[in-house]
Amino acid sequence: MEVLIHEASNGQEINANQAATRCTGDLKFTSKTKREDIEALSQIEHKDDKESVDIIFENITYTVNLGFRKGHKKILHGLNGRLPCKQLIALMGPSGAGKSTLLDVLSGFRITGVDGIVLINGRIRHLNSFRKCSAYITQDDRLEPLLTVIENMRVAADLKLSSNTSQYEKEMIIEEILTTLGLYEHMYTRSGRLSGGQKKRLSIALELVNNPTVMFLDEPTTGLDSSSCMQVVNLLKILARQGRTIICTIHQPSASLFQLFDQVYVLAKGECLYQGTTRKLLPYLESLKLPCPMYHNPADYIIELACGEYGEDKISTLIKGSQNGSNLQWFENSVDLMDARSLRATRPLTNKFADNSLHATNLGHQIKILLRRGYIMCKRDTTLTHLRIGVNIIVGLMLGSVFFRSGADGSRVLDNYNLLFSILMHHMMTTMMLTIVTFPMQISILVKEHFNRWYSLKAFYTAITLIDVPISITCCIIFSLIIYLMSAQPLEFIRFFMFLTISMLVMFIGQGTGLMIGAVFNVVNGTFMGPTLSVPLMMFSGFGVSIRDLPYYLKWGSHISYLRYGLEGFIGAIYGLGRPILDCKEKGELYCHYRYPSKFLSDIALKGDQFWNDIIALTVILIITRCGAYLLLRLKIISYR
């Protein structure tokens, strides 16, 4: 298969990539290398004998809702097509043509608003079974930057391969894939430090672990130089020759890159302009009296036609010529022309996945692997661990210095009251804002890995909840010890235990609130929403304006503000339990108003005997925030589809 460019001097046709030397990882390709030699150079064996997959789609439409009273817009208009096995297939078209949308529909990533039929080897696609033998690789490389190449691969192997697979077999598979993709010498490099081409190859390597028979790639060459593009596409061609169906979107390839594709499907405004082999594109255009100019890259020319640069009537001509994807005469051979009935009779797709589970491993195993990954990341993450511990120490020392020994002085009770509220704000804001900033980045990785059946959403949510517990408790204990001792709060174990318990509950609720916000909003909107939603919580906490002074129509707010229960719990721990009269150390004071703790409790309209009620209320709010975050995250995942 060659892409041909017209030569002006003698009218001959020459190979666009003649005498060029290409490199894929450690493998060298020259113009003298035969096709058979290329295909034999590197093999990833189909050890599980998975069947090849032919994809047929008929009358595919996709409609989106533009919003309230804005109607709907149709993106794809009755597309038809054939995507045969062992082929490297390009979906081409200008921006907004519907390439990525069609890829999402064919992969099953997008199902809402879709109409039409997708056939797998002639049979109606069963989405769950199809997802088990396919993989979707996004345009942006969604990798864990703190993990090395080998660590990423081991996580993928542990999650995507059956638990019955031995560790030795997993290591052999990983080594084989990394060697084939030219990543073996970079196995101990963190993925965040890889080049663009290496990241793209690692993204492919992760999905090759369970040997999918269909691979969808969204713009695999975006952001790469010409050499890296050639490496990636050559790699995809090798994978296709091993029995896989490889479908990828590509915007505007060079002539040399274009010739590497076996088949091309060209779109414009959601309709098909051409479907067939790349070498038959020029004859197709000539048959419609739209010949490609000499010295012109056919890929560039068809995109220019699709953009309407030669007139809108040319687009209509191409759509009629391709019959919106129904015309199959430009395929290579008659096998590709088999209709759905013939495929159903000759080679039906056997269902080797009889169980209902989408995942290769059980829930407990998934949680264990995700916890192991999270532990490695926590050790290396300066923001979530080292900086977080440092901030708690520094803030504790600063507050302790400002409110030094305020807890033991009857003349500084109001100062100590301010300190207790400041502690609540610290626990709420630090955990909430940290989660709001970091969680959306985890969601992008979650969307890819969850769709590709690495793990269930329950496993992911359980793991991120558990992995943060030790570091959160450690930070809370360190901060509480510093501030409690420096501010000279009552040295009684029961009071410190009450103080620490309230602190931890408020901290975990703040984190749960951050998860809820992070599951709905992006980082920019989340950093606005977090502090904004915190203002009513502070207003209803009883600090500044006592609860008894709130208007009757706002009383409800005090029952949903977890800061109110946190503040009441702190007051009960420090000034409740029948605390004796305080010493007044302020010189020159004839009268110390708050030396009697009961008087202080009366003035702020908070009771000192509500600790267990506060614990129950905070626990209920904690459960609500955590469950709410999970449900919102689930809705977020569903919204992508």
Which tens digits make up the pLDDT trace of 447-468? Answer: 999 999 999 999 999 999 999 8
283-311: average pLDDT: 90
Share of the chain above pLDDT 90, in %: 51
> Does position 149 have pLDDT exceeding 90, yes or no?
yes
Joined together, the tokens standing for residue 212 give: 């999918």
> Does position 478 have pLDDT exceeding 90, yes or no?
yes
503-520: average pLDDT: 94
> Does position 17 have pLDDT exceeding 60, yes or no?
no
Lowest mean pLDDT across 43-52, 61-70, 230-239, 335-344: 335-344
CA atoms lying within 13 Å on the CB side of residue 197: 18
Joined together, the tokens standing for residue 281 give: 């594109």
Share of the chain above pLDDT 70, in %: 88
> Does position 22 have pLDDT exceeding 60, yes or no?
no
Residue 471 to residue 475: CA distance in whole angstroms: 6
Average pLDDT for the chain = 84
- Alpha carbon 499 to chain centroid, angstroms: 38
Domain ranges of the chain: 50-140+195-346, 366-639
Angle in degrees, 0-180, between the axes of helices 149-160 and 196-208, rounded to the nearest 10? 20
Q: Which CATH number fits domain 50-140+195-346: 3.40.30.10, 3.40.50.300, 3.30.750.24, 1.10.10.10?
A: 3.40.50.300
Which tens digits make up the pLDDT trace of 171-218? Answer: 999 999 999 888 999 999 999 999 888 898 899 999 999 989 999 999
pTM score: 0.82
pLDDT at 222: 83
526-552: average pLDDT: 86
CA torsion sign, 455 to 466 to 563 to 609? positive
Which tens digits make up the pLDDT trace of 377-436? Answer: 988 887 778 888 999 999 999 999 999 988 888 888 889 999 999 999 999 999 999 899
Coil/strand/helix, residue 273? strand
User: What is the pairing mode between strands 22-24 and 27-29?
Assistant: antiparallel
Residue 153 to residue 299: CA distance in whole angstroms: 35
pLDDT at 347: 46
Q: For residue 340, name the pLDDT band (cuts at 50, 70, 90).
A: very low
Q: For residue 358, name the pLDDT band (cuts at 50, 70, 90).
A: confident
pLDDT at 33: 34
